[in-house]
Amino acid sequence: MKLSPLQVFMLFAALTLLSCPLFLSSYYVGLMTQVLIFALFAMSLDLLVGSLGLPSLGHAVYFGVGAYTAGLLCLKFTNSFWLCLIAGTCSGLILAALFGFLAIRTRGSAFLMITLALAQVVWGIAYKWRSFTGGDDGLAGISLPDLGFPLAVTQTSYYYVVLLIFGLAGLFLTIIVRSPFGNALTGIRESESRMRSLGYNPILYKYLCFVLAGGFASVSGVLFVFQNRFVGPSELGVVLSAKGLLMVILGGAGTLWGPALGAAIITLSEHIISAHIDRWIMILGIVYVISIMFFPKGIVGTIRGRSREDAI
């Protein structure tokens, strides 16, 4: 069976991810862990952007709530990774379920603004509630979690745990996108009135998608807080939400694995460029403009389009 260039790249990427701790130092293993975490965050956002055409400027709030929940549990009650993961994911799902009632009936710029406003409310609470969240100082001193395995918790062992969760989450997201539910979301994106006439409930489908996207984002937040051992209000802020949107656009909205590639490019570029330039946010803006001008469908979307043209 002949593999397409994209399938060859995916196979190469999988083998690289499995073997990179064998030849990388602990610093770069930590950096690759961060790449996987933000790749999952970008893929969760693509569930909204790619499947429904609803770009959000508040998606980081679920990432941050998951991180804060896990961080608070670790500092005050238990450092069990799996309990923190479950609690952090549930907190993101609950918050997304609440915000979904307000946001999902809007679209376009109105959806952007309401998601931004709701996220800023949570950001303000985290910033001001110093006795609980640490305020602008955040939560520091979070220890490495107890993974429940008879192995020492190291940068490498945690990397493989993150890789396992990333793979499982990516598999679930792929199943969701390719399922009848995912096909219905695509139909709603293309013509909501037509899907309504066929007997579907667009509001319910969009609401469920919104909640699922928030849940997967909170998983990435839990993984982040134990890798970074710190969480602050910036993990709830608009900059992280905008960065997630850029990852999706750069990789290719609606391709699911394209945003993971976009996350890898943005995360690695940030670490390289920020070592030499202070104004990293300005660089993000330039990358966004270049992406829109030269890769309107994203990197993976452009490659797929050209492959189809060659096949024809």
The more confidently predicted of residues 153 and 188 is 188
For residue 159, which of 63, 268, 21 has the smallest C-alpha distance?
Answer: 21
Measured distance CA(134)–CA(51) in Å, rounded: 37
Rounded to two decimals, what is the model's pTM? 0.91
The more confidently predicted of residues 298 and 90 is 90
For residue 27, pLDDT over 90 is answered with no
| DSSP class per residue in 207-276 | HHHHHHHHHHHHHHHHHHHHHHS-B-GGGGSHHHHHHHHHHHHHH-TT-SHHHHHHHHHHHHHHHHHTTT
Q: What is the mean pLDDT of residues 99-123?
A: 90
- Per-residue model confidence as pLDDT tens digits over 251-285: 888 888 889 988 998 898 888 777 677 677 777 77
Predicted pLDDT at 235: 92
Predicted pLDDT at 26: 85
For residue 68, which of 289, 205, 218 has the smallest C-alpha distance?
Answer: 218
Q: pLDDT band at residue 311, thresholds of 50, 70 and 90?
A: very low
For residue 219, which of 61, 64, 66 has the smallest C-alpha distance?
Answer: 66
Q: What is the mean pLDDT of residues 171-181?
A: 93
Predicted pLDDT at 198: 87
**DSSP designation for 50:** H
Q: What is the mean pLDDT of residues 49-67?
A: 93
